[in-house]
Chain A
Amino acid sequence: MFKYFGIRLLALIPKLFIISIIIFLGLQLVPGDPISRTVPPDKLAEMDEEKVALLREKLGLNDTLFERYGKWIGDIFKGDFGYSLSTHGEINKIIANRLPATLELAAIGLLFATIFGLLFGFISAIKQRTPIDYSLTTLGIIGISVPQFFFGLLAILFFGITLKWLPVGGRMGVGEQAFFDRIQYLVLPSFILGIVYIATLMRYTRGSMLDVMGKDYIKVARSKGLSEVNVNIKHGFRNALIPIMVIIIMRLPYLVAGTVIIETVFNYPGMGSMLVFAISGTDLPIVMITTLLIAVVILLASFLVDVLSALLDPRIRLGSDKEGA
């Protein structure tokens, strides 16, 4: 089995390599002199041509495409992500500030979504073809139809402005550093972030649960005289959970994508709002690094999916020898 995981892990490397090349080439296609992307314009205007030429040489802009790619990827491996064009700050520091914020938001969103998604799906399945089931299913469709940011704006208006229960945006107030002070800022964005996820999980949980409840061993459990609660939870839900675990991880990248919109709606200082800001300001170094980071996260998630599916279903890891990695 470890051999299978090893092969899967190694297969990530060429994918990551291809993605990094695409990102790098994308940057080369952007019109404009690359030096204007590396040196602030006001400083560039002060310099005479000789100095610019010298700088060009120093920055390695006269090298071949191949050499420049090597330098770029080498710097990233050394942990040097370069400088932002708009704020001129070190990208390392910016990310160190913003990554924890996004992780916090995504983790709590995931927690919300998993609890409610599983709960609603479970109820929907054991109450199949009742008004409860129909209304939950319809709510699920509404959840994926109404734009997330529109939900967010409505929530700000209602809970933030009208009722004044929760702050309307941001991550912390003045002097509120502790997690418990920050949690009120997280409630709305993380819940809104989770809505689409809840709807998806609910649908899968319902389907998987119905699948399991039709199996013979459920009939056996019932005929042994076990209570309905016992049958539903211990025998039904536990087994239905197995494919759901895979779905939870598989859909994780979509949760990450959601943070981009949600952070913008709530003015939340995370990676998502940073990316939007960088794209609107054509701050390409930040865009490239963020894209690469996202790619790493997504590929790791897909690796986790493979591992989980293999652990849960022996047919997959045994069949893998024929297919190759």
Chain B
Amino acid sequence: MKTLLRFNFLKNRALIFSVLGFHAFVALLAPYLRLSSTDSQDSAALLQGPSLNHWLGTDSLGRDVFSRLLHGGRPSLVIAFAATAISCLIGIVIGSLAALAGGWIDEALSRVIDFMLALPTLILLLLISSFFGQDPLILSVALGLMYASPIARVARSATQTLLARDFIRVARLQGGSRISILFGEVLPNVWRVMFTEVAMQFTWILLAFSSLSFLGLGASPPTPEWGLMIAESRSYMTLNPLLVIAPIMMLASLVLAIQALVDHE
């Protein structure tokens, strides 16, 4: 127990990278792994414990938990990647543009960013998903737009510090236009500063989508998705606790590994 307490899970690089590698491997290769089907229901074997046929047992519809578990990260990962890409694109361009332009443009864009930050994200997502259907495309775009404002804010301040540096002044004195400075000097440098912020955003978006699924408005059944799996199996926790423990471990290990990777405390 003492060694366990002393062991710093969040600072052990080898552990972090092997967890991330495991998730990447599973997410990319799950469909090719000759697993049993994720939706075939075996009504003779409901809520069974672990066995040779079903390594982690079966859920309330007799579906193989192990197979669903390995497929369960894919929907959220795809959406999180798409939404993060959208939010980065919009956030970084708007943020650095605001800092670069200065004056009233900066003022106006900052107000828009502040306004977006004040919006109640989850309730808006629920509204969109409920009224426009649980379409992955719509959800990614909505998530991307909503999570663009924190990125824009960080990009704006990062660019502002950058603008005081000599090489930007040189580029200005050489007669570079604002647009060429934005793409040639600012963006390549801001990107590096932004990496931490973007990785954090990625986990927030992933978790937001999982929470939506948990509430029944993200991934729609019978898609295997961790949040949805937890929601579906909670009533059967007493019979087979693995049904909720397994997806929780997968989700937790993934987001904690990403957070630990970027957290330089």
**Is the A/B pair a real complex?**
no
